[in-house]
Structures are given as C-alpha cells and as structure tokens.
Amino acid sequence: QSVLTQPPSVSAAPGQKVTISCSGSSSNIGNNYVSWYQHLPGTAPKLLIYENNKRPSGIPDRFSGSKSGTSATLGITGLQTGDEADYYCGTWDSSLSAVVFGGGTKLTVL
C-alpha cells in the first residue's frame, strides 16, 4: 500500500485533457512540496512538476500541477499518444522521514 493514493488508470482521447489526483496526509502533501514524474516503459522516470506547480526547463506547458490541502493534481492538456506512460506523485513524508511516491497512474490515450 502506497502512502500516497493515485487512481490506477485514467484515459482520454487525443487532444483532450486529463487530470490525475494524488491524495495524502498532513505529514506529507499537507506540509511539503509535491513533484510529478512521467515514466515511460524502458526508460528512466522524468521530472515533470516540482514544488507543486513548477515545470523544469523543457517541459511543455501542457503539463501543470496544483495542490490543495492534502491533495495534489497533475493536469495534461492536448493529449498526445506519446503521453502514454505511468505517472507518479512524490513528496517528503515528515513522519516517516522518507520520500514517498504514489502507486502510479497509467495514462492511456485512446
């Protein structure tokens, strides 16, 4: 069981928008920054969002992040087939003194 809860899967058509939720608690999301990662099969994970809503250089603005209380959300607009991947949220957990990840969400672009 992951400390952070994500839906196992989401799907949408090309060009559409999708959101992926990440639910935690006051010991993790509630009091720490959230990051989001994209993981394509056979590759290393890639940082998409850090500090809740900031994008590293090179990440298109189709990807956005937000946080409210003990939950965070990743948004992806203008879906492309190349966006099909697993997406993970991550943050520091102050009670565990550890980085924690969500269980991952598989995005299917129909």
Q: Nearest approach, Cβ of 73 to another protein (angstroms)?
A: 17
The number of residues that bind another protein (CB under 8 A) is: 26
Give the list of residues 6+ apart from residue 69 with CB closer than 8 angstroms, or none. 29, 30
Instruction: Please list the residues that pair with 88 across neighbouring strands.
Output: 37
Q: Which of 10, 18, 37, 85 binds another protein (CB under 8 A)?
A: 37
Any bridge partners for residue 45, and if so which? none
Residue ranges that bind another protein, judged by CB under 8 A: 2, 33, 35, 37, 39, 44-47, 50-51, 56, 86, 88, 90-92, 96-104
